[in-house]
Amino acid sequence: MAKLVGVTIEGMNMNRMVQYQYWDKETETLPREELEKFQLKLLRESVNRALRTPFYKKRLFQVGITSGDDMKSLQDLQKIPFTTKQDLRDAFPDGMLAVDRREIVRLHASSGTTGTPTTIYFTKKDLERWASYVARCIYGTGCTRDDVFQNMITYGLFTGGLGIHYGAEMVGMLVIPSGPGNTGRQFKMMKDHRTTVVHATPSFLLHLHSKLEEEGYTLSDLALRKAFAGAEPYSEDTRRRIEELWNIDVYNSYGLSEMNGPGVAFECQHKDGMHLWEDGYIAEIINPDTFEPVANGETGELVLTILCREAMPILRYRTRDLTSFYTEPCPCGRTHRRIRRITGRTDDMLIINGVNVFPSQIEEVIMGIKEVGNNYLIQVDKDGALDRLTVKTEVGPNIFMDDARPLNALKERIRHALQTTISINPKVELHEPGALPVSEGKAKRVIDTRPKDV
């Protein structure tokens, strides 16, 4: 378990002095060469664990890997075939289990309601390691045991709730496991307990602010100063909007259940890229069509190998998430590489009349227009033989819906900006604030009603 060290260094961020603090300074600032040596040692151990599982024993033997010692360098990782979500389903329930079932103390699973779930198992040591990575993330944003942390993410089989919860407790924060929804109660707890940090989806943070006045509160009633936003992709414009509305710092985070959950990567106080903890994970970025590594700094699909879990090792997992590595070091002094915010998923891409469109592109345009509200919906259907794209968005509270001329002008600005960005001429609908459906968990932004064989 990582030990909290009260080490700080001074740096400049946004023309202001910043005090950087490390949870585990030695590990977080390990020289690159030493970090890669450590990774290779952990990779060999992970391969040996994987060879105890029926799934990987068969798969690794097929490519001539019979021991972790066959990993002579980190480049040898590429000899291992990719693992997919379907592999996890096919191996359910025990095919990827590397320990006796009596050693398992918890499982998490995907929230899907049909088919075989994606289930991940943990030993006691796995949970301790996971919590320490999350604590490293939280502490690295400037949080301390003096903070009050309100966790507005779903608890249960979803990893986001308990994953962040135990990391925050390890830091020593007072943790309020409020879960999502119930805005009135959220505000009351925030005021009563002087909450300083929250964890929520970006869509819920926007929705919560829209209810602030309605619930009888003002920002001055609250002590909020930071938010961790995750569980769904969102644009930099959305982050800026949340920060401006709440007058707080918002930190981007990345995690997925197959790699434990939250705590894989997190922004430091610079808020410029997420440090991916390379003593726990090996990251590759590949071209999703050719499966070859992309050039450093180019966007591709993130592939992860977990090094910090004994119950269920997973090697070269195709996350389907699109990102890229930063090529320059972070001023905070951490040596673990940073990844850019997730711009979309290879399996979320929409093909509309032959044009590839990612929902994140549409969000970036919408959130960059100040007159637009906080909620939107993307709808794709058929108009005869052609695909039709409709973008529905709420307007801001200061826009009058009965004044046609400014509404038409706004609609045209949105349409033109979208056409310039995605090369498609969409239909744009404007709606009153609160008219579009709100999700308390991950926001459902896309409705595609086209026949599945199209």
DSSP letters, 347-406, are: TT-EEETTEEE-HHHHHHHHHT-TTEEEEEEEEEEEETTEEEEEEEEEEPTT--TT-HHH
Q: What is the pLDDT of residue 7?
A: 44
Q: What is the pLDDT of residue 421?
A: 85
Q: 117 pLDDT band (50/70/90 cuts)?
A: confident
In the block, residue with structure tokens 């992709």: 233
Q: How many CB atoms within 10 Å of residue 66?
A: 12
Most confident of 77-91, 348-362, 413-427: 77-91
Q: What is the pLDDT of residue 396?
A: 84
Q: What is the pLDDT of residue 234?
A: 81
- pLDDT exceeds cutoff 90 at 184: yes
Q: What is the pLDDT of residue 454?
A: 36
Dihedral pair phi/psi, residue 443, rounded to 5° = -70, 135
How many CA atoms lie less than 13 Å away from 116 in the CB half-sphere?
13
Q: 104 pLDDT band (50/70/90 cuts)?
A: very high
Where do the domains of the chain lie, and which CATH numbers do they carry? 8-33+122-345 (3.40.50.12780), 350-448 (3.30.300.30)
> What's the whole-number average pLDDT of the chain?
90
Report the range of poorest mean pLDDT among 80-89, 196-205, 353-362: 353-362
For residues 275 and 405, which has the higher predicted lDDT (pLDDT)?
275
Separation of alpha carbons 451 and 454, rounded Å: 6
Q: Is the peptide bond before 288 cis (omega within 30 degrees of 0)?
A: no
Residue 47: closest CA among 57, 37, 38, 62? 57
Q: How many CB atoms within 10 Å of residue 204?
A: 25
Q: What is the mean pLDDT of residues 170-195?
A: 96
Q: What is the pLDDT of residue 113?
A: 40
Burial class (CB in 10 A: 0-12, 13-18, 19+), 438: middle
Q: What value, to the nearest 5°, has the Cα angle with vertex 172 and ends 166 and 176?
A: 60
Q: What is the pLDDT of residue 13?
A: 41
Separation of alpha carbons 294 and 287, rounded Å: 6
Q: 41 pLDDT band (50/70/90 cuts)?
A: very high
pTM: 0.81
Is there a contact between 137 and 170 (Cβ–Cβ < 8 Å)? no
Q: What percent of the chain has pLDDT over 70?
A: 93
Q: What is the pLDDT of residue 111?
A: 52
Report the range of poorest mean pLDDT among 121-135, 239-253, 397-411: 397-411
Q: 9 pLDDT band (50/70/90 cuts)?
A: very low
Question: For 147-157, what is each residue's pLDDT tens digit?
Answer: 999 999 989 88
Q: What is the mean pLDDT of residues 316-336?
A: 96
Report the range of poorest mean pLDDT among 32-46, 358-372, 440-454: 440-454
For residues 437 and 232, which has the higher predicted lDDT (pLDDT)?
437
